[in-house]
Amino acid sequence: MDPIERLASKLPRSIFVGLVLVVALILIFMLNPPHSVCDSQFAIFKADQTPFLYLDPKKPYMKTSGYQASYDKCSASNNLGACADLFGATRQLMSDLASGNPRCHTEFFNKAEVKKALTDTMSLMIRLAWGNQPPASIYEKNGWLNSNHMYLYCELKANFLNHYGKPAYETWREKQMQALPNPKNIDRREVWNRSLVSIDCKPFS
């Protein structure tokens, strides 16, 4: 007789049945945890962001998300037309994130795909504005990016600071500055002055 059979023989049937039900309920909750409000909202968000941020499960032959495809196109061409899809869809991504339950924002912004889109787009905008060498002056730090692009950049920056913190932003920012092409070997202060990282976001907030 195994241990469970011995236990069953010693316990009243009603108690044993009750224990079995409790164990069964625990297993059900462990295998199928109840959905929270944020779980439900994320399901809606993910559906809205497919196939831009997430691959479409109905199209298994697609190996690249809309975000990655538009990012690659923008990075390769570095012009307004090539980057329009990326910037427009990223603006919609930020809108979808903002429209959700505020209690879920931190959880959403820590999703790997969301964080990558936010940081990679900011990094790309900094490089696009800079070009292959330092801008001639601080007045050219935006490159070909216009005021609409600055609104997007500043929105991305604000969300970075809000959800990942100032120390993380400053560490990330320094890496971006160090990675910029700098054939003239200008010092950090000039890199700061001539790059998009020093843009004043107050007019665009």
Q: What is the pLDDT of residues 3-59, one digit of tens each?
A: 555 555 665 666 655 555 555 445 544 555 555 789 999 999 999 999 999 999 999
- What pLDDT is attached to residue 147? 96
Give me the pLDDT at residue 166, please: 97
Tell me the CA distances in angstroms from 66 to 33, 69, 116, 117, one per residue in order.
Answer: 31, 5, 13, 11
CA distance 104 to 117: 18
Residue 90's closest CA among 73, 116, 74, 67? 67
**Structure token pair of residue 65:** 């998300």
DSSP for 73-109, written as a single string? HHHHH-SHHHHHHHHHHHHHHHHHHHTS-GGGHHHHH
pLDDT given for residue 176 in this prediction: 98
Asked if residues 138 and 73 have their Cβ atoms less than 8 Å apart, the reply is no
Q: How crowded is residue 95: how many other Cβ atoms within 10 Å of its Cβ?
A: 11
pLDDT digits (tens, 9 = 90+) for 100-153: 889 999 999 999 999 999 999 999 999 999 999 999 999 999 999 999 999 999
Two structure tokens written together for 85 = 């899809």
